[in-house]
């Protein structure tokens, strides 16, 4: 497996922790991500499902880097996540800068790495 695939596995695994927090320990999710606001259990579960989808994309893409549509969907999931969290910090003020920095590091690194590697993989013929 290529280094990018291992990176996506790491990010997917970290996202799994957020899924766990969303479903089981909403207060940990609040402390780790949305520390500047209150959250209900439904917010936690919704965040958990959304994060489970992005986690699934990371794992699938890690093993199928040559699948351009899957690669693009995974890449866009990082763009969407970064925009979502930046909005939560800048507009809604629901996150602390430290929490945004953590998300920004993983999403930003993934975005740049996937852009750099975009043409390094041969597209699969279906």
In this prediction, residue 124 carries a pLDDT of 60
* pLDDT tens sequence across 27-39: 888 888 999 999 8
In this prediction, residue 64 carries a pLDDT of 96
Q: How confident is the model at residue 42 (pLDDT cuts 50, 70, 90)?
A: very high
**DSSP letters spanning 21-53:** HHHT-HHHHHHHT-TTS---HHHHHHHHHHHHH
In this prediction, residue 109 carries a pLDDT of 98
* pLDDT tens sequence across 110-126: 999 999 999 887 666 55
**pTM, two decimal places:** 0.90
């Amino acid at each position: 497996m290529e280094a990018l695939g291992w990176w996506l596995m790491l990010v997917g695994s970290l996202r799994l922790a957020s899924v766990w927090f969303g479903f089981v320990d909403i207060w940990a999710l609040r402390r780790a991500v949305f520390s500047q606001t209150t959250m209900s259990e439904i917010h936690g579960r919704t965040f958990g499902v959304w994060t489970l989808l992005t986690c699934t994309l990371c794992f699938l893409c890690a093993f199928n880097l040559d699948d351009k549509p899957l690669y693009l969907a995974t890449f866009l999931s990082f763009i969407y996540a970064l925009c979502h969290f930046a909005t939560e910090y800048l507009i809604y003020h629901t996150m602390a800068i430290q929490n945004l920095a953590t998300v920004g590091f993983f999403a930003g690194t993934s975005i740049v790495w996937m852009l750099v590697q975009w043409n390094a993989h041969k597209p699969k013929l279906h």
